Structure 1
Amino acid sequence: MKTRGAVVTEAPGTYKVVELELDGPRQNEIMVKMVASGLCHSDDHIAQGDQPSTRYPICGGHEGAGIVVEVGPHTPGFEVGDHVIFSFLAGCGRCRWCAKGHQNLCDRGATILTGGRPDDPDSYRLTMDGTPVAQMCGIGTFSEYSTVHVDSAVKVDKDLPLEKLCLLGCGVGTGWGAAVNSAEVYPGHTVIVMGIGGIGINAVQGAAHAGAAHIIAVDPVAFKRTTALELGATHAVATMEEATEIARSYTNGQGADSAIVTVGVTTGEHVAQAFSSIRKAGTVVVTGLGKLTDFGIPVSLLELTLYQKRIQGSLFGASAPSADIPWMVEMYKAGKLELDKLVTTTYTLDDIAQGYIDMHEGKNIRGVVLFD
């Protein structure tokens, strides 16, 4: 069938809406009519070439939700009309990592930048003028319709707003889990969150849920600082220098228990600033992405060893999406997880380029594309 989708043909490049041909679902696949898709910075990394796809053209989008319109043959567990949220990381449920409860590290994650199927990275479902088109993370939520593997889909109740729940497919779980799982925030902790966008704002929520006494949000944009204060931050400042001083004032000069780095384009210097802000045996959690070609973090090896500090990477908040997405849905239903205030601006598919301009200008916590 024909569908319209936002595609980038080279990096650096800009998303443009084009007509695409979409194959129907095969075994263990479903076709979904998209309802909403978040505008995540990771899709911009693909467009800018910071984290290049192995194939262009590519249809962007990996944080989305929609309604099943077709189910592949011999595919139990799904039916037409089901509402689903996509997990940008497919979980096979059988590899070493899934078996250990680390579904975010599933071996199928190795294929997400190919844009093919999670179980067959050389197989594609989209074409443009006869040329195969990759799907971001094998999903491609910037398309009106998408054919995806069921390992990337989580069913949810039909009476819930997909335009809000779509954020659970990446940004919410990544930020919340960075605080709760990776930073291991404990009641009474002092936490710094560096960068208040779609990830950082949920790290603030996660730290608040975990019982942190002091949550210091850092962002140069005033409205983002205000939003952080509304969603659990106790302090909001423009620089890491200010945040570090506040953290030390509450910890007898020691520093924060943890610092979570969620800057859109993360550099070694950002990590170093976070490293300087934490106490002995403290933790820096890095969930922001940097350029693929950037190496090196300018930290003191002596301080790393003698102060027993830890620098911890965090992918999708160290979560297990098939378990944690339904859990977060229940928190949202109970009023314990804020989603509504995360959406700053909504866009049509044709306005997606403007959405990323707004992101770069710091105007959004999260922009969301709404489909008709």
Structure 2
Amino acid sequence: MAVIKSRALVLEKPGKDPLVREIDVLDPGPGEVRVRMAASGVCGTDGHAVEGTHPLRGLPVVLGHEGAGVVESVGAGVTALREGDHVVCALAVPCGVCRQCARGLAAHCNSPKRAQAIAGLAADGTTRMRRDGEPAHPFFGVGTLSQYTTVRQEQAVRIDSDLPLDEFCLTGCGVITGVGAALNIGQVQPGDTVVVIGCGGVGANVIQASRIAGASRIVAVDTLPEKLDLARRFGATDTVDARGDVPAAIRAIEPDGADIVFEVVGNPSLTASALTLARVGGKCVMVGIPPVGATLSLDAFALVGNRQLLGCRGGAVVPARDLERIVRFYRAGHLRLGELVGRRLALEDVGKAFAELGSSSFARSVVVF
């Protein structure tokens, strides 16, 4: 094995445009694998990192956090993977030994090992990427907008080699978060009425998973008519233009309120409004990530009606478990991934994808290496 040169999208400082640069990707250490990336989605959270509204654990940052590829080499002690395996890069990997994991709550693992992995640090406290000889930090511990990346073996979840990597790259974040929000946190039940506010990449998958779970009515809310059209294709039964009177429109559809409302934008004022759209005993799930330091002001009386306000850290997923479920849905024809991809482009053209974040007519742009 040897250090590999890799073209990668590097953010030197929030507020500045990220640029394609050459980096060094080091050999995998014990318990690690190096992955030759096949494809990576461009997620809104990457845009938040560029804007400076998402916390970064070190600079410079190699962007990208939803990707898939092929294992190029393995470090000492790796037993679950071998060279040539097709993998999805996972973000939230439970440690398996902390109090939460021991109680069967692996999705809520909050151990130092998990935090270290998400910070892009290996077990020895260093990174496996270098920019001009200095450490570079893979975003969310994976840095998938790079030709190569090195991750812990637990962060590389093997999938069957016949599955399309340019579609399954999206399962690393947008798909698994949306599906997890609906099935793990909201726990959509047959016959439920669901409202989804924000119908981009994650929202579209909340809609898909709610349909799979048997929701009888799925109301999509967005400001872009193109996103509402997209929502209908994924299973929305009703659409509401967010530029109008949303509460009145929801009441016209479901006078008693929705069973579950998903706020997928990350806007605290929208979250407060979303809570009031839930029925007595209903739920509001805050899926979108608000800016660091943002505060939430709401009518506390809304909680008196036994309404629940729930957070959503990445869909409360255990990657190996939830990706297996996603593969089953995909093979059965229930979960559509190809339709999420509106554009495939080269790494050098990734600026187009960033410029359209939040305003495109489709769910995701995918960089294909």
Q: Shift of the alpha carbon at 1:54?
A: 2.0
Count of residues in Structure 1 that have an aligned counterpart in Structure 2: 364
4+ residue segments displaced more than 6 Å? none
Please give the residue correspondences for 1:338-353 in structure 2 after superposition, counting only pairs within 5 Å: 338-353=336-351
Work out whether residues 11 and 52 of structure 1, in 8 Å CA contact, stay in contact via their aligned partners in 2. Answer: no
Question: How far does the alpha carbon of each residue in 1:82-118 deviate from its partner, in whole angstroms, 9 at most, with x for none?
Answer: 000111112222223333443333224423563323x
Within 2, Cα distance between the matches of 1:361 and 1:268? Answer: 20
Question: How far does the alpha carbon of each residue in 1:259-294 deviate from its partner, in whole angstroms, 9 at most, with x for none?
Answer: 10111xx22211111012111111110010111021
Q: 2:190 aligns with which of 184, 187, 191?
A: 187
Output the amino acid matched with 1:351: D
Local SS of the residue matching 1:359? coil
Within 2, Cα distance between the matches of 1:23 and 1:169? Answer: 23
Within 2, Cα distance between the matches of 1:99 and 1:87? Answer: 21
1:45 and 2:43 aligned: no
Question: How far does the alpha carbon of each residue in 1:202-244 deviate from its partner, in whole angstroms, 9 at most, with x for none?
Answer: 0001111111111000111111100110111001121286553
Within 2, Cα distance between the matches of 1:13 and 1:100? Answer: 43
Q: Shift of the alpha carbon at 1:135?
A: 0.5
Q: Judge which range, 237-246 or 329-338, deviates more.
A: 237-246
Question: How far does the alpha carbon of each residue in 1:323-344 deviate from its partner, in whole angstroms, 9 at most, with x for none?
Answer: 1102211211121111110111
Within 2, Cα distance between the matches of 1:109 and 1:277? Answer: 35
Work out whether residues 104 and 316 of structure 1, in 8 Å CA contact, stay in contact via their aligned partners in 2. Answer: no
Q: Which residue in 1 is equivalent to 2:233?
A: 230
Q: 1:323 aligns with which of 321, 325, 328?
A: 321
Q: 2:137 aligns with which of 134, 137, 145?
A: 134
Please give the residue correspondences for 1:13-162 in structure 2 after superposition, counting only pairs within 5 Å: 13-106=16-109, 107=111, 108-111=113-116, 114-117=119-122, 119-120=123-124, 122-162=125-165
Give the superposed CA RMSD: 1.6
| Gapped regions of structure 2 (runs ≥ 5) | none
Work out whether residues 192 and 243 of structure 1, in 8 Å CA contact, stay in contact via their aligned partners in 2. Answer: no
Q: Which residue in 1 is equivalent to 2:294?
A: 294
Output the amino acid matched with 2:121: G
Local SS of the residue matching 2:45? helix
Output the amino acid matched with 1:64: G
Please give the residue correspondences for 1:161-200 in structure 2 after superposition, counting only pairs within 5 Å: 161-200=164-203
1:259 and 2:261 aligned: yes
Work out whether residues 53 and 113 of structure 1, in 8 Å CA contact, stay in contact via their aligned partners in 2. Answer: no
Please give the residue correspondences for 1:300-315 in structure 2 after superposition, counting only pairs within 5 Å: 300-304=299-303, 306-315=304-313
Q: Which residue in 2 is equivalent to 1:248?
A: 251
Q: Shift of the alpha carbon at 1:177?
A: 1.5
Within 1, Cα distance between the matches of 2:100 and 2:174? Answer: 22
Within 2, Cα distance between the matches of 1:9 and 1:128? Answer: 10
Q: Which residue in 1 is equivalent to 2:281?
A: 281
Output the amino acid matched with 1:233: A
Output the amino acid matched with 1:259: V
Using the aligned pairs only, state the percent identity. 35
Within 2, Cα distance between the matches of 1:94 and 1:291? Answer: 31
193 and 349 in structure 1: CA distance in 2 versus 1, 3 angstrom threshold:
same
Within 2, Cα distance between the matches of 1:152 and 1:22? Answer: 16
Q: Judge which range, 99-108 or 215-224, deviates more.
A: 99-108
| Gapped regions of structure 1 (runs ≥ 5) | none
Local SS of the residue matching 2:357? helix
Work out whether residues 38 and 166 of structure 2, in 8 Å CA contact, stay in contact via their aligned partners in 1. Answer: yes
100 and 165 in structure 1: CA distance in 2 versus 1, 3 angstrom threshold:
farther
Output the amino acid matched with 2:273: Q
Work out whether residues 91 and 152 of structure 1, in 8 Å CA contact, stay in contact via their aligned partners in 2. Answer: no
Work out whether residues 276 and 302 of structure 2, in 8 Å CA contact, stay in contact via their aligned partners in 1. Answer: no
213 and 244 in structure 1: CA distance in 2 versus 1, 3 angstrom threshold:
farther
Work out whether residues 199 and 231 of structure 2, in 8 Å CA contact, stay in contact via their aligned partners in 1. Answer: yes
358 and 241 in structure 1: CA distance in 2 versus 1, 3 angstrom threshold:
closer
Output the amino acid matched with 2:6: T
Output the amino acid matched with 2:238: H
Output the amino acid matched with 1:271: T
TM-score, normalised relative to structure 2: 0.94
Within 1, Cα distance between the matches of 2:201 and 2:102? Answer: 29
Output the amino acid matched with 1:300: D
TM-score, normalised relative to structure 1: 0.94
Local SS of the residue matching 2:356? helix
Q: Shift of the alpha carbon at 1:299?
A: 1.4
